[in-house]
Structure 1
Amino acid sequence: MNLDGLTLAVLTNELAQHLVTGQIQRLLQIDKTTIVLKINTSKGNQDLVITAGNMPACYLSQGITDLPKEPSALCMFLRKHIEGSRITAIEQLNGDRILRISADKLALDGSLISNRIYIELMGKYSNCIFVQDNIILEALIHVTPLMNRERSISPKLPYELPPNSERGSLFEFNNEEIKDLLKNFNQGTVAETVRRIFNGFGPALLKEVCYKAKLTEKTNISSSNERELTALGNALIDIKESISKATQLLEYENDKGKKIYSPIPLTYLEDQGIQLRTIYSSLSEPLEIAVATQGGINTTTHELERVLQQAIKKEELRHTKIQAELDASDKADEYKSYGDLLMINAYLDTQYEPSITLDNILVDPVKPITIPLLPELTIVENAQHYYKQYTKLKNRMQSGLYQLNQSTQRINYLQSVLYSLTIADSKELVQEIYTECEQAGLLKKSKKPVSYKSPKHNFMHYLIDGGEIFIGRNNQQNEYLTHRFAKPTDIWLHTLQVQGSHVILRPTESTTATDEMITLAAQYAAYFSRARESSKVAVDYTPIKYIKKPPASPLGFVIYTNQKTAVIDPKAPVFNNNTKLYE
């Protein structure tokens, strides 16, 4: 979701309204190209996200839950200069896709230090640059002369704006000046003239200007008459006034599914029958949704997901190799029969022969069989060679079956961790999974201790008629819920051969579990699993006393007996007067 300069002007006003006079309390770096400024304002705390990655954006976030555990070296350096600064202004420069945040800070000697944060949202050239006294302190992305001959970005270099000095902002000129500029600098088509004079016109707003002026983008403006120039000037003035009052973002979608964004209504689309799909009350909201949808920020969750997917892929490759070795072990009995037949015919002279044809007396009826030989060995030595191959394959089969079982178990475990990550919706839950990955050896253990202690009862708890339902949200919670929290009279539920949460159904002491209660618990078990979007999901259930944990098995792994299976449709928990959810 790329914003043009005019739309960015609306975002600039939005950020200024919320953040000016606020104090930067904390600076956090999520990944190599993304930082978060935690700002304390008169309206409360605000999180400003600045990312220059594959989805460049700057917006107010509703809160990122999976912030990094340890600060980077860049983060520590910037904290020294930026934290404690008070934001005095947020401006858009030259109507271009460049924002400048001015943040002043008092030094220990009482002097005022002026910091500038330049946010350049220019596609692959996007960056966030921290400047002090017009000298670059640091930048999210360093640019060397080999990367760009026109402009270098690195510490201790003077900051220079991107080369775009010939154009200005539409908001810098009054109505008469706009019309004069069109008359004096018109050259080429309407589109070329407007973009040569003014910054910030994307395709949608340029088409809207032409539509209001009753011109086309390819109209030759140099041959236009006074009336057409006046109409174009009036259209630009109308766009300027509308955008200066805009506080929202409109989303249109054409027949091909392409989305078009604008801060003002696009009459040329509405007259074509293209309907308005969504109205966002702020620009930050759709930007945050777009960044999250396209994976524009490499958060802790994304990093864990990447590590887990790589581990699953590696283990699946190992599983394939073990299976291939086991398939090759099918020749073990054939090698033994070769050895037996060669020993029975040990009196024959086969040295220097590549093969020998014998009567296979080990089958009924007897059939001739050709046995490959190593020419340099005698017939007895060839028999011993086949016996060794037989022994090797038999041993491989025994160890291979064990390794194949362990590999299958590990794949299921890794997929269960990956599933837990998809339903983690808080910093605490993500941290629990992060800790589990450290304990499993998937991540290097951090030397920094966790800043909080996760409560053992951090699982979901539903009150239902006649009992309670408890649902784990990751393997640590599943382990505690099943093996320590559950009572012998409870019923354990889990989807059949599908990764999901452990579910405990606990009837009240005066009742036993009814079919309705078991069905409801099974629906919840199907909903909190990878089969959530499916129908007719098989769910096993059995009393908790039949649940066992094999020695040295991974977290959340159990074996069970005496189970019954219910095939039901997943159902999300419904909250009413008789049902509550608390943690």
Structure 2
Amino acid sequence: MAFDGITVACLVHELREQLLGGKIAKIAQPETDELLLTVKSPAGQKRLSISASASLPLIYLTEYNKPSPMSAPNFCMLLRKHISNGRITDIYQPGLERIIHFTIEHLDELGDVCQKDLIVEVMGKHSNIIFCNTEGLVIDSIKHVSAQMSSVREVLPGREYFIPDTLNKSDPLTVKEPEFIEKLIEKPLPLSKAIYTAFTGISPVVAEEICFLSGIDSSITPKELSVDVLRHLYNQSDLFFSAVKEGRFSPAIYYDGQNPKDFSALPLTHLLGYTRKEFPSMSQVLETYYASKNALTRIRQKSADLRQVVQTALERSRKKHDLQFRQIRDTENRDKYKVYGELINTYGYHLEEGAKKLEALNYYNNEMISVPLDSAKTPQENAQRYFDKYNKQKRTYEALSKFIQETKDDITYLESISASLDIAMTEDDLAEIKEELITSGYIRRKLTKKKVRIKNKPLHYISNDGYHIYVGKNNLQNDELTFHFAVGSDWWFHAKGTPGSHVIVKTGGDTLPDRTFEEAGRLAAYYSKARGGEKVEIDYVEKKHVKKPKGGKPGFVVYYTNYSLVIDSDISQIQEVKSNTSQ
């Protein structure tokens, strides 16, 4: 579901009720592209989160605070200077654009009443937060857009603010029937696409809803429809948007089973196979729908440097492995040279001087063989030459076999770190993975920074039979769980042959029911590279049979007797304990 103009209209309706007349008490900038405003309004103290993230732009009311950097960024300091303690006198949306204007009244340095505009543009990668004066000039913005970045509009201090109309769309709230029909007919596109490309603020899902309400196939083109049908389409569209004009919103999320698939400010009757859950406000819808997605997006951005380190090391190790493998293939025929030397010693006594080959019976397979000779050497010298060649290739094979295993271990280890990055949910998770990379020598520790002990906890679940299950989020936690937290009678689970988390089930000395084994197996499958698979093979064994090899890398274990099960990676029915119990 797109963050469309209808969603913004619903938010503006909500923000006017909650924030209008409110006083801006605090201004924070938790991220480089995000603001958090604390407003004391007649409705009580409210927090407004505004994100101009290119990947996930959002604006909504929230009850949660966010930690801010020790030094406030320049844009935050500018806003504090101008509008701290300012009063919000107006909140509006131009047309059905994905834009919200906040008009803020404040006192200047001389004590005179002034007005400023804080403009939030929620437009995907072009999202921005722009601070303007009453003359419409940009004072500053959270993102600067130069002429080199955009030929349509510069967003820089001193430039005029305007809404670029690059697509020549009409406002569906004010459009009349003749213009509505004309706009659609000029679009040689399927009807639903023609609707959302002709009118502002309409997403593909809303366009499908308008077609569905009209009883018209959304795949046909507008030119194929009669004038009467197009008039009927206009009437249905006007009826649909009357709810927006009158503020009759009903925010809801549409679920496919447990997974949220879409959200909307108005009912979407064409989503027949989904479960609709209504919410009191659009802010709650957005916070619920995007909570996990926003967290994952932020963590993925913050983990980019670590991923680059791991990916670079992986590529280097894989190239090294390929080279070593090609070199070891060159030693495959080493035993042949040993046989040559032995046959020359056995049959070479009758060779004539200057012979170029030896025809002899290979007593290892009873077949005749032709052994090439250096005519300038004696039989003994030819035999020694082959023995030397054999010994050299044998030493090479033995050395390369050891190196190849070490390189394979490096690849497996780096893939396990990559898997840890995939399941990282917090900055503490990333800090622990970074510390592991430093300890392993993949990142150089800065001289100015001391090693910090990170008090991070594993994931904690409770099975439907009441048993506690713990999941390591990285190799350091895996070692801690398996060799310090678990006892001998606990059960240990891991996805077979693929990087993943160690999963420990605390038995308390009980015999586990089958359902708990299956749920622990699902967790091991989900927190591995095999996530999403319907048939993932899981090894499980009592913890007392799991050993740490001498000199093994973090997370590496060995076990020789184990059970196996094949399970899916669906963990939706397993309860997670959010406040992880201390170990």
TM-score normalised according to structure 2 size:
0.68
Contact 1:252/1:260 (<8 A) preserved? yes
Q: CA deviation at 1:27?
A: 1.3
Q: Secondary structure at the match of 2:222?
A: coil
For residue 528 of structure 1, what is the aligned residue in structure 2?
523
CA 1:191 to 1:445, structure 2 compared with 1: closer, same or farther past 3 Å? farther
Distance change in 2, residues 1:293/1:45 (3 Å): closer
Query: Which residue of 2 is the match for residue 38 of structure 1?
Result: 36
Residue in 1 that maps onto 2:140: 137
Aligned partner letter, 2:415: Q
Aligned-partner residue type, residue 38 of structure 2: N
Structure 2 vs 1, CA of residues 349 and 97 (structure 1 numbering), >3 Å: closer, same or farther? farther
Please give the residue correspondences for 1:271-310 in structure 2 after superposition, counting only pairs within 5 Å: 277-279=275-277, 281=279, 282=282, 283-285=285-287, 288=290, 298-300=300-302, 304=306, 308=310
| 1:403 is the counterpart of 2:403 | yes
Shift of 1:484: 3.7
1:218 equivalent to 2:222? Answer yes
Matched, 1:80 2:69: no
Q: Which amino acid aligns with 2:402?
A: Y
1:333-344 mapped onto 2 (5 Å cutoff): 333-338=335-340, 344=348
- Whether 1:480 aligns to 2:480 is yes
Contact kept? 2:458, 2:477, Cα under 8 Å: yes
CA distance in 2, matches of 1:468, 1:299: 32
Larger deviation, residues 445-454 vs 240-249: 445-454
- Partners of 1:376 and 1:382 lie apart in 2 by 9
One-letter code aligned to 2:327: E
Letter in structure 1 aligned against 2:241: I
Give the 5 Å matches for 1:156-555: 157-163=159-165, 169=171, 188=182, 199-202=200-203, 205=206, 218=222, 232=234, 236=238, 239-242=241-244, 244-249=246-251, 263-265=265-267, 269=270, 277-279=275-277, 281=279, 282=282, 283-285=285-287, 288=290, 298-300=300-302, 304=306, 308=310, 311-312=313-314, 314-338=316-340, 344=348, 348-349=353-354, 356-360=356-360, 362-364=362-364, 365=366, 367-369=368-370, 371=372, 389-443=389-443, 445=445, 454-455=454-455, 460=460, 472-486=472-486, 490-491=489-490, 493-495=492-494, 497-498=497-498, 499-503=500-504, 505=506, 507=508, 513-514=509-510, 516-517=511-512, 522-523=517-518, 525-530=520-525, 534=535, 537-543=538-544, 548-555=547-554
- Return the alpha-carbon distance in structure 2 between the equivalents of residues 63 and 551 of structure 1: 50
Deviations 1:44-67 (A, max 9, x none): 5454332224xx532449899999
- SS of the residue corresponding to residue 529 of structure 1 reads helix
Structure 1 residues 119 and 389, CA gap change in structure 2 (3 angstroms): farther
Task: Give distance in 2, aligned partners of 1:132 and 1:199.
Answer: 24
SS in 1 for 2:249: coil
Q: What is the CA distance between 1:400 and its match in structure 2?
A: 1.8
Q: Which moved more, 1:228-237 or 1:42-51?
A: 228-237
Change (3 A) 1:167 1:564: closer
Deviation at 1:468, TM superposition (A): 7.2
Unaligned runs of 5+ in 1: 351-355, 508-512
Contact 2:138 2:159 in 1 (8 A): yes
Please give the alpha-carbon distance, in whole angstroms, between the structure 2 residues aligned to 1:70 and 1:379: 82
The amino acid that maps onto 1:541 is: E
Change in 2 beyond 3 A, CA 1:91/1:433: farther
Residues in 2 aligned to 1:368 and 1:127: alpha-carbon distance in whole angstroms: 77
Whole-Å Cα distance in 1 between the matches of residues 142 and 388 of structure 2? 65
What TM-score do the two structures reach when normalised by structure 1?
Answer: 0.68
CA deviation profile, 1:335-359 (whole Å, cap 9, x unmatched): 4445666785897547xxxxx5422
Question: Structure 1 residues 391, 105: closer, same or farther in 2, change over 3 A?
Answer: farther
Q: SS of 1:40's equivalent?
A: strand
In 2: Cα distance, 1:83 partner to 1:10 partner? 28
User: Residues of 2 paired with 1:311 and 1:63: CA distance?
Assistant: 42
1:510 corresponds in structure 2 to none
Q: Which residue does the alignment assign to 1:2?
A: 2
Tell me the equivalent position of 1:49: 51
How far residue 97 of structure 1 moved from its aligned partner, in angstroms, is 2.9
Per-residue Cα deviation, 1:144-172 (whole angstroms, up to 9, x for no partner): 34x5444334565444431369877555x
Pick which of 101-110 and 490-499 moved more: 101-110
Deviation, 1:39, is 3.1
CA offset at residue 422 of structure 1?
4.6
Deviation digits for residues 83-120 of structure 1, max 9, x if unmatched? 58558355323432333455677778868887655444
Q: Percent identity?
A: 18
Distance 1:253 1:485, change over 3 A: closer
In the aligned structure 2, how far is the partner of 1:24 from the partner of 1:451?
35
Instruction: Give SS of 1:401's match.
Output: helix
> Aligned with 1:530: secondary structure?
helix
2:210–2:236 contact (8 Å) kept in structure 1 = no
Alignment root-mean-square deviation, CA: 5.5
Task: Give, as a single letter, the amino acid of the residue that structure 2 aligns with 1:36.
Answer: E
Does the 8 Å CA contact 1:329/1:396 hold for their aligned counterparts? yes
Asked whether the equivalents of residues 249 and 262 of structure 1 are also in contact (C-alpha less than 8 Å), the reply is yes
Write the deviation string for residues 543-566 of structure 1: whole angstroms up to 9, x where unpaired: 2xx6543443222223356x4536
The answer to whether the 8 Å contact 2:413/2:553 transfers is: yes
What CA distance in whole angstroms lies between the structure 2 residues aligned with 1:198 and 1:466? 54
What does residue range 537-576 of structure 1 map to in structure 2 within 5 Å? 537-543=538-544, 548-560=547-559, 563-565=561-563, 567=565
Q: Tell me the distance in 1 between the aligned counterparts of 2:64 and 2:392.
A: 55
For 1:58-137, what aligned pairs fall within 5 Å after superposition?
A: 58-60=58-60, 76-82=73-79, 85=83, 88=88, 90-101=91-102, 116-122=117-123, 126-133=126-133, 134-135=137-138, 137=140
Give deviations 1:190-238, integer Å, cap 9, x for gaps: 56699999633455656766887899983799x979x997995795266
1:152 aligns with 2:154: yes
Q: Aligned in 2, Cα 1:366/1:7: closer, same or farther, shift over 3 Å? A: closer
Q: Is the 8 A contact 2:467 2:506 kept in 1?
A: yes
* Residues 13-24 of structure 1 aligned to structure 2 (within 5 Å): 13-14=13-14, 21=22, 22-23=24-25
CA separation of 1:360/1:280 partners in 2, compared to 1, >3 Å: closer, same or farther?
Answer: farther
Could you say if the C-alpha distance between residues 395 and 149 of structure 1 is closer, same or farther in structure 2, counting changes exceeding 3 Å? same
Letter in 2 for 1:549: K
Amino acid at match of 1:554: K
1:403 positional shift: 2.0
- Residue 539 of structure 1, CA deviation: 0.9
